[in-house]
Amino acid sequence: MTDIGVDMNRESPQPNDIDTSSHLWSTFGHRETEITAKWIVRLCKKRGTGWAPFTREEINEFYTPSDGFWFNGLLNDVWLADVNGQIDILPEFVRCVSEPFRYEKLSISVVGKEFYS
């Protein structure tokens, strides 16, 4: 399998490429973290600005439960980083949320066997 690279605008899958209608199984190792990731992808889809940074205020407005949005371990400088009040989405986050997408979209069948690129 090849790396998706670090170009967050051209080579990486974009938010609209990620299926958020179901759970992002086995992407971050914890169900709560995967649910949190799905909310972030949904916010990015709604904004229509790709993986551009967002603020805590934006995610709290989008995610309506009264106790506010919890990052559930994602805000750790590996997946997301807080840079001067902006939450940056890092390439590793995109790789994790796009793994199910990559296996579904990039699989090919050759003589009855499946291979993944």
pLDDT of 7 > 50? The answer is no
> Which residues does residue 114 pair with via DSSP β-bridges, in sequence order?
109
Q: Which residues contact 5 (CB under 8 A, 6 or more apart)?
A: 11, 12, 91
DSSP classification of residue 71: -
pTM: 0.77
More confident site: 27 or 7: 27
**100 vs 88, residue with greater confidence:** 88
8 Å CB contact between 52 and 45: no
Cβ–Cβ under 8 Å, residues 51 and 14: yes
pLDDT, averaged across the chain: 81
pLDDT for the residue 58: 95
Please, which residues have CB within 8 angstroms of residue 53's CB and are 6 or more apart in sequence? 83, 86, 87, 88, 89
> Is the pLDDT confidence value at 23 over 50?
yes
